[in-house]
Chain A
């Protein structure tokens, strides 16, 4: 039996969607009149799929997608889009909505879209259920060239693993992103390519030009960043090791001191310390270890358990 929650502030549109879906005998359809009501309904009975309108009072479709992504990551969401809601639909898809059906195509496409999403999510859910609660530890190691383009993909993968291991909620997922971005940029630019913040103070252009130049010159070009991550159910430990000469973190001025507010120095280090539970450097200053400990009771983990039960 598949339970589908239909969310729409228009009673007529709810009836239309419900009428189409109820023709499938093994589907149970429940309804909510806006995003807030939908979250209440989900608490009472976790559905297999949510179908939602985008423009609604109280909590709109975009906010509902975010809330479901955060608290019930295994539930796929299908958007019903109307003329004029294209931009918000794109944002909802970026936030994790599974698919969409234009309102004018509901009669032709809704049932088929639900079937496709249901089939895709079944395998995905089975795999996620295995990993979300049964995987106890995982390690990975990457050796990176001095190429900034690799950084977002690596961070996205680390954020995904942090979620799977129950380390963080959505906000902490972003905080991990900020801290890792700083550590990796430091390792590439300040570590391996030995670029100073003072140069960036003059012009960004000369800073990045020198980075490009050095990435093809000895001794910089062969230097790599070694990135090691270890996840347990309790914490994620990331180590970023460059092959530069290192530095003394104690010598970095406090960037929030009004005297330094206008200078680019030390802000990355401050963000790492703010967003991770622990930050420590090795003696030579060319390796940093960042630790994020699991937050229990506020993140996706508890809600995911409720989906399983």
Chain B
């Protein structure tokens, strides 16, 4: 699945979501539809781990944090884990300021994040 705003790759360990652009796309009807469909899939999956890859998003604010929180709410009850990777220093700061680094682990690379959620 590929849209302007995000790209999803599935592996054995986790679903990897690569955010491609900033807030302007997150309010697009088409993107919201696609994201809602993706989140609905998560809701009906037994246990899904999710990795958010920020390699294309050097900074972001509360709208993106809300998107992360929305996904987290769908996977946490079934025991899914969530990790974030490829954050800029400022991206990490945003998560620390909002205290979300206490909930999700932050990693330098996608491989490290995948390892973290798969528990190896």
Contacts and interface: CB of A to CB of B under 8 A. Distances in A.
B42 to A, nearest CB: 14
Interface stretch (B9-17, B52-60, B77-85, B104-112): B52-60
A44 B69 CA distance: 48
B27 A211 contact: yes
Interface in A132-184: 148-149, 151-152, 171, 174-175, 177-178, 181-182
Interface residues of B, number: 31
A11 B70 CA distance: 51
B72 to A, nearest CB: 9
Contacts of A264: 62, 66, 69
In terms of DSSP, what is the predominant structure of the interface of chain B?
A: helix
Interface string B77-120: 00000000000111001100111000100000000000000000
A30 interface: no
B61 A268 contact: yes
B23 interface: yes
B67 interface: yes
A149 B61 CA distance: 15
A91 B62 CA distance: 25
Contact of A267 (B22, B67, B90, B98): B98
Given A208-B32, A267-B65, A177 B59 contact: yes
Of the four ranges (under 10, 10 to 19, 20 to 34, 35 or more), the interface on chain A belongs to 20 to 34
Given A208-B32, A267-B62, A256 B99 contact: yes
Contacts of A275: 93
A261 B103 CA distance: 10
Nearest to A269: B62
Nearest to B21: A152
A174 B58 contact: yes
Contacts of B69: 262, 264
B63 interface: yes
Contacts, number: 80
B39 to A, nearest CB: 9
Interface in A260-291: 261-262, 264, 267-268, 270-271, 274-275
Contacts of B93: 175, 274-275
B94 to A, nearest CB: 6
A182 B62 contact: yes
Interface in A179-215: 181-182, 185, 200, 204-205, 208, 211-212
Interface string B14-38: 0000000011101101001001100
A175 B91 CA distance: 9
Given A204-B70, A205-B36, A91 B55 contact: yes
B22 A274 contact: no
A102 interface: no
Given A270-B98, A271-B94, A151 B23 contact: yes
A18 interface: no
A204 B32 contact: yes
Contacts of B65: 267
A152 B58 contact: no
A205 B26 CA distance: 10
Contacts of B94: 178, 271
A152 B67 CA distance: 18
13 contacts: A91-B55, A149-B24, A171-B90, A177-B59, A181-B60, A185-B23, A204-B35, A267-B61, A268-B61, A270-B98, A271-B61, A271-B97, A274-B93
Interchain residue pairs A-B with the least CB separation, the first 3:
A174-B90, A174-B59, A267-B62
